[in-house]
Amino acid sequence: MATTTRALAPKPPGTVLLAAEGVRKFFSDDTAPVLERIDLELRENEYVALLGPSGSGKSTLLRILAGLLQPSEGRVLARGAPLHGPNRQVAIVFQGFALFPWLTVYQNVELGLLATEVPEAERRERTLRAIDLIGLDGFEEAFPKELSGGMKQRVGFARALVVQPEVLFMDEPFSALDVLTAETLRGELRDMWSDSAMPTKSVLMVTHNIDEAVSMADRILVFGANPGRVRVELKGLRPTERREKSPARTRLVDAIYQVITNPDEDAEQLVEQYIARAPTRQRRKAEPARPRRYQALPDVSIDDLTGFVQYLSGIGNSGPLSDLARDLQMRGETILRIAEATDLLGFADIQERSVFLTPLGQRFAPLELDAQKTLFRHAVLDHLSLMREIVHRLEASQSRVLQAEEVLAELETSFARTEARRQFETLIDWGRYAELFSYDDVEGELRLDEEHYNA
């Protein structure tokens, strides 16, 4: 390791390389935005993480900053000049690697240089150097399909670094890899960054992994969903504090967990509570959530939901989220979604970073299937206003039938198109299980389940 590292001796904030000003994004004719008024500056010598649940628009923002998408409102400035078309200062490492399967490793890496005016001899030299830097020596003539996931993503890194971008973008670069491989690559990236071995002046990383953000970034922007927006901005840890188990790190991780698990609360206050002991944190007032007519349903299947309640009841009605993720071998994000769903229905409470079954949840767990369904039906009607609304409309209809399009249209007043579709699917899944209605996908019709509704 080099003796002077970037992050150990943080330079004063450098020039602004890239800035978003009041960026909003709508997809096609959606009424609800995917991104709501984003302001963001990316400076020299900065490693910034965009952290948030899926659907919070962080990947969309990355693509807007890269010039792959145009903002619907607001603008992007690259070194002060408005950006049109792909940003020349940026290279991207993709979640799915985005390697060309018919090109060799060498050709894939060289691809980044083809469009530049670099003469051939130098191109070759730089390509080989990038391959070498990233530990792919000897794989030059291999095709991507011969490589493991980790090796593939190394090619992705080499292709990005070979163009010597001012800013390196990474879109969930480790999430398609297994845990160990991801950890290895993260470590290598961290070393290259702190040794200034990379030609890059700053890094922007999209992730949903809190630990990943905390262990790498100098600045973390926590995103919320529906619409995608920055809920709070946090200063990252000093490198010495980034070690596992350092108290500062635990505090920061706690705070972020709080923010993410409480999507409807004021992120500022939550952070205040958790990092009060370390008052140097720099924060910024972020946009409050737009009021919505309906709660957002987490994307959780019935099996996961009921299984989770039963599991919790089996281990003494409560447990820390991180332990649950480990024991159930699920991603933290997934566990969080499931926990949110149980919370929403009143089966559980999320406090601190743990879940506790409510009396209702405890009653639910040991019941027979039919009794569970009855309880679930009441919970759904008590807590989900849209579900109530649907049942009312079904009742009001002569034929006891409701068109799916109506429900979708209703959802689209609050959610962007794809998210509305997802909400709809969860709604159908839960409603069918609750035996409130049946749904015919071919006809696109909801039909009241009269037997149970009247009962």
Residues found near other proteins in the complex (CB under 8 A): 63, 66-70, 84-88, 90-92, 94-98, 100-103, 111-112, 114-115, 117, 143-145, 159, 163, 441-442
Minimum distance of other proteins from residue 281's CB (angstroms): 34
Q: What is the largest CA-CA distance in the chain?
A: 80
Nearest-angstrom CA–CA distance, 287 and 93: 29
Minimum distance of other proteins from residue 416's CB (angstroms): 16
Instruction: Identify which of residues 273 and 403 has a Cβ nearer to other proteins in the complex.
Output: 403
Q: Are strands 167-171 and 202-207 parallel, antiparallel or unpaired?
A: parallel
AA letter at 448: L
AA letter at 384: L
Question: Tokens 């506790």 belong to which residue?
Answer: 356
Instruction: Identify which of residues 27 and 453 has a Cβ nearer to other proteins in the complex.
Output: 27
Minimum distance of other proteins from residue 401's CB (angstroms): 21
AA letter at 362: Q
Minimum distance of other proteins from residue 443's CB (angstroms): 12
Question: Tokens 């409807």 belong to which residue?
Answer: 264
Instruction: Identify which of residues 98 and 381 has a Cβ nearer to other proteins in the complex.
Output: 98
AA letter at 185: L
What is the SS3 assignment for 218?
coil
Instruction: Identify which of residues 126 and 231 has a Cβ nearer to other proteins in the complex.
Output: 126
Instruction: Identify which of residues 117 and 244 has a Cβ nearer to other proteins in the complex.
Output: 117
Minimum distance of other proteins from residue 176's CB (angstroms): 11
What is the SS3 assignment for 365?
coil
Minimum distance of other proteins from residue 11's CB (angstroms): 27
Nearest-angstrom CA–CA distance, 439 and 316: 37
Instruction: Identify which of residues 64 and 357 has a Cβ nearer to other proteins in the complex.
Output: 64
Minimum distance of other proteins from residue 69's CB (angstroms): 5
Instruction: Identify which of residues 68 and 325 has a Cβ nearer to other proteins in the complex.
Output: 68
200 token code pair: 């890059």
Minimum distance of other proteins from residue 90's CB (angstroms): 7
Instruction: Identify which of residues 101 and 279 has a Cβ nearer to other proteins in the complex.
Output: 101
- Specify whether the CB–CB gap between 387 and 431 falls below 8 A: yes
List, in sequence order, every beta strand (DSSP E) within 240-358. 318-320, 348-351, 354-357
Minimum distance of other proteins from residue 50's CB (angstroms): 17
Minimum distance of other proteins from residue 101's CB (angstroms): 6
Nearest-angstrom CA–CA distance, 287 and 11: 29
User: What are residue 51's DSSP bridge partners?
Assistant: 207, 222
Closest to 409 measured CA to CA, from 394, 396, 397, 424: 424
Instruction: Identify which of residues 145 and 277 has a Cβ nearer to other proteins in the complex.
Output: 145
- Specify whether the CB–CB gap between 149 and 176 falls below 8 A: yes
Minimum distance of other proteins from residue 330's CB (angstroms): 24
Nearest-angstrom CA–CA distance, 58 and 229: 8
φ, ψ at 262 (rounded to 5°) = -120, 75
Instruction: Identify which of residues 117 and 368 has a Cβ nearer to other proteins in the complex.
Output: 117
Cis peptide before 359 (omega within 30 of 0): no
Nearest-angstrom CA–CA distance, 34 and 26: 6
Helices within 359-416 (DSSP H only) = 359-364, 369-383, 385-396, 404-412
Instruction: Identify which of residues 66 and 386 has a Cβ nearer to other proteins in the complex.
Output: 66
Instruction: Identify which of residues 107 and 354 has a Cβ nearer to other proteins in the complex.
Output: 107
- Specify whether the CB–CB gap between 298 and 425 falls below 8 A: no
Nearest-angstrom CA–CA distance, 201 and 46: 7
User: What are residue 23's DSSP bridge partners?
Assistant: 38
Minimum distance of other proteins from residue 354's CB (angstroms): 37
Nearest-angstrom CA–CA distance, 67 and 165: 14
